[in-house]
């Protein structure tokens, strides 16, 4: 079967030409997922809703050049369930477990262990389940058995949730023989703070602030994706100057994170000079960003209808000077990293995810591009102003720490170039316009390529300017499972380096 029969049934979205909406019955969801996977499509997001009129599963799939938004209505009865699609998209397994934890709607045949719910709220209570819905038949268990590896000399190393550094919390269970890692099992959910329920308590015109704080290092990307969805629902388009300023902010965010990671990766491989140099450059960039756009971290810059502030002339010039300085300095540091035998030795061959495995696991973003997965939403689902910016795609095949370092160098250089281009070609006019409240029941999806990978925000309006449902999906959902594969066969002391080379979000994942 091919995808075309589904696409003819899908409804195009007027406000976003690449988007199409399709509603399918639970039984057809598996067939559709199978066809999407067979055609090389990607599952980008999956979430559940549970209102008084019934439960619903929603998904965003990428079948280039289309973005397919799928809704699967589920019955109101207590036995509501849907077929698992984790055998087509392995990353869906944890998403489906999260759907159960939050709504009580179960995928058939899935791992029954809770994922986002530890034991902090009562078993049988589902934070996103409508109060009038009957409770689901199965009671969740609070026991969480890790998969045991047995054999001579195998022992377990539990790490976390509190880690030995300035890092977010999460638990890692290593099964090792000597120094060699046989298996890693992740247990996340420690920073689950109820973001999706919190959204429903905020006015829809104010939700971008919470979106920016889903994962603080991706604030621009999340708030832009939120505003993209909101503006599509309200039938307005942010003015040209606003979208150029948003692109400037997004590329500065990408550059700042890459600077930070490149320093930390050098440090984790024993090259402290790298951390000192890159953290110095990052501080320069943050100060120039604050001078130009008003904040070191642009968590409040993207607002519905445009941007919070315009770019002052002096700030723009300071930013240009900073970008020029950074471009020159990064070139010097890149040569140092490339010629350093110790760094090459530690980076090369560590934490490899081969392209075939990456494709199967659905690895996305910069880690995906380091493993031969070329997806970059700036190019593949272009939106203003990226059609005009001619982004250079960076792809490598090796899939090791070195490849992820190389991608960061290339994308950092490219982001600095893009930021400079935006500053040189910024159109005139307003930087924001008023956005009316979208009609109750309207919904849309926002898609932005954040520094880590594709960021999805699914938004649905409730009555009176409220949010009925908002689901932010961080690319970490796709890449955390790949880290479990990347570490196999490596030694325990290389884990911090390999982990850092992915640098995944805990907060963005745990919600």
Q: How far is the CB of 210 from another protein (least distance, A)?
A: 5
Report the residue number, 173 or 213, with the smaller CB distance to another protein. 213
Which residues of this chain interact with another protein, rule CB under 8 A? 118, 120-121, 125, 127, 161-162, 164-169, 189-195, 197-198, 209-210, 213-217, 219, 260, 273, 275-277, 279-280, 282-283, 286, 296-297, 299, 332-333, 335-336, 339-340, 505-507, 510
Report the residue number, 126 or 174, with the smaller CB distance to another protein. 126
Burial of 182 (0-12, 13-18, 19+ CB in 10 A): middle
Which segments of 108-215 does DSSP mark as H helices, in order? 195-199, 207-212
Given strand 54-63, what is the order of strands in its sheet?
11-12, 19-23, 66-74, 54-63, 42-51
Report the residue number, 277 or 473, with the smaller CB distance to another protein. 277
Report the residue number, 150 or 339, with the smaller CB distance to another protein. 339
Q: How far is the CB of 287 from another protein (least distance, A)?
A: 9
Which segments of 133-239 does DSSP mark as H helices, in order? 195-199, 207-212, 219-234
Report the residue number, 153 or 341, with the smaller CB distance to another protein. 341
Q: How far is the CB of 274 from another protein (least distance, A)?
A: 9
Report the residue number, 168 or 400, with the smaller CB distance to another protein. 168
**Separation between Cα atoms, residue 22 and residue 27, nearest integer Å:** 14
Q: How far is the CB of 303 from another protein (least distance, A)?
A: 15
Q: Could you tell me if 391 and 414 are in contact, meaning their C-beta atoms sit under 8 angstroms apart?
A: yes
Which segments of 91-185 does DSSP mark as H helices, in order? 92-103
**Separation between Cα atoms, residue 378 and residue 392, nearest integer Å:** 10
Report the residue number, 182 or 191, with the smaller CB distance to another protein. 191
Residue in 42, 9, 14 with CA at minimum distance from that of residue 25: 9
Q: Could you tell me if 355 and 375 are in contact, meaning their C-beta atoms sit under 8 angstroms apart?
A: no
| Residue whose token pair is 């509190």 | 162
Q: How far is the CB of 202 from another protein (least distance, A)?
A: 8
**Separation between Cα atoms, residue 46 and residue 96, nearest integer Å:** 8
Q: How far is the CB of 334 from another protein (least distance, A)?
A: 11
Q: Could you tell me if 259 and 281 are in contact, meaning their C-beta atoms sit under 8 angstroms apart?
A: yes
Q: How far is the CB of 459 from another protein (least distance, A)?
A: 17
Beta strands of 52-104 (E only): which ranges?
Answer: 54-63, 66-74, 81-83
Q: How far is the CB of 297 from another protein (least distance, A)?
A: 6
Report the residue number, 7 or 167, with the smaller CB distance to another protein. 167
């Amino acid at each position: 079967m091919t995808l075309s029969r589904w696409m003819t049934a899908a409804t195009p979205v007027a406000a976003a030409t690449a988007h199409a909406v399709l509603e399918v019955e639970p039984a057809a969801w598996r067939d559709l997922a199978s066809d999407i996977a067979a055609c090389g499509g990607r599952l980008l997001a999956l979430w559940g809703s549970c209102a008084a009129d019934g439960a619903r599963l929603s998904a965003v799939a990428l079948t280039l050049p289309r973005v397919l938004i799928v809704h699967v209505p589920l019955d109101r009865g207590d036995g509501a369930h849907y077929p698992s699609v984790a055998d087509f998209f392995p990353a869906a397994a944890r998403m489906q477990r999260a759907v159960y934890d939050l709504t009580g709607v179960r995928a058939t045949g899935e791992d029954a262990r809770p994922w986002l719910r530890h034991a902090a709220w009562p078993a049988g209570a589902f934070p996103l389940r409508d109060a009038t819905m009957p409770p689901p038949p199965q009671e969740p268990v609070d026991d969480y058995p890790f998969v045991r590896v047995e054999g001579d000399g195998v022992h377990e190393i539990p790490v976390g949730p509190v880690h030995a550094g300035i890092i977010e919390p999460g638990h890692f269970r290593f099964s090792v023989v000597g120094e060699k890692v046989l298996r890693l099992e992740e247990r996340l959910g420690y920073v689950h703070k109820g973001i999706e329920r919190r959204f429903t308590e905020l006015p829809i015109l104010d939700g971008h602030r919470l979106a920016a704080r889903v994962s603080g290092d991706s604030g621009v990307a999340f708030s832009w994706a939120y505003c993209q969805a909101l503006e599509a629902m309200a039938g307005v388009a942010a003015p040209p100057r606003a979208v150029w300023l948003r692109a400037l902010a997004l590329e500065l965010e990408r550059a700042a994170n890459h600077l930070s990671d490149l320093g930390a990766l050098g440090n984790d491989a024993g090259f402290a000079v790298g951390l000192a140099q890159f953290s110095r450059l990052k501080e320069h960039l943050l100060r120039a960003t604050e001078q130009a756009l008003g904040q070191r971290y642009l968590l409040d810059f993207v607002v519905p209808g445009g941007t919070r502030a315009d770019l002052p002339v002096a700030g723009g010039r300071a930013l240009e000077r900073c970008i020029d300085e950074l471009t020159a300095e990064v070139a010097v540091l890149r040569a140092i990293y490339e010629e350093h035998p110790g760094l090459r030795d530690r980076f090369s061959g560590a934490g490899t995810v081969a392209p075939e495995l990456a494709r199967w696991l659905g690895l996305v973003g910069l880690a995906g591009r380091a493993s031969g997965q070329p997806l970059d939403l700036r190019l593949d689902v272009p939106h203003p102003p990226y059609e005009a910016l001619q982004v250079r795609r960076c792809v490598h095949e090796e899939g090791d720490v070195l490849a992820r370092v190389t991608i960061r160098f290339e994308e950092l250089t490219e982001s600095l170039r893009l930021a400079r281009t935006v500053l040189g070609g910024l159109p005139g006019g307003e930087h924001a316009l008023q956005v009316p409240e979208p009609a109750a029941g309207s919904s849309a999806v926002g898609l932005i390529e954040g520094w880590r990978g594709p960021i999805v925000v699914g938004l649905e309006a409730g009555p009176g300017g409220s949010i009925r449902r908002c689901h932010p999906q961080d690319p970490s959902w796709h890449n955390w499972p790949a880290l479990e594969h990347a570490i196999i066969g490596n030694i325990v002391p290389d884990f911090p380096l390999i982990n850092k080379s992915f640098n995944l979000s805990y907060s963005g994942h745990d919600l």
